[in-house]
Structure 1
Amino acid sequence: MWQMRKRRQRPKPVTLRDQFSVEVGDDVLVRNKESNKLWVAHILRMTKIKGRISVEVRWYYRMEEILSKAPSFIGDKEFIISDHYGFVDGETISEKCRVHTFSAYQGISSDKLEENDYYWRFEYSPVLHKFKEVSVPVYWECQLPENPDKMMVMCSNCDKWYHRECVNLQESDPDKLSEMDFCCPTCTSLLNI
Structure 2
Amino acid sequence: MGESRSAVRACLSLFCAIATSRRLRTCGRFVVALAWLCPLAQSADWPEFGGNADRTDVTAETLQLPLSLAWSFQANHPPSPAFKGLTRLPTTAAAIAYDHAFHPVVADGRLYFGSSTEEAVFCLNTRTGEMEWVFWTEGAVRLAPTVWKGKALFGSDDGHVYCLDAKTGEPAWKFQAAPG
- TM-score, normalization by structure 1: 0.25
**Structure number with bigger Rg:** 1
More strand by share: 1
- TM-score, normalization by structure 2: 0.27
More helix by share: 2
User: Which has the higher relative contact order, 1 or 2, with Cα contacts under 8 A spaced 6 or more apart?
Assistant: 2
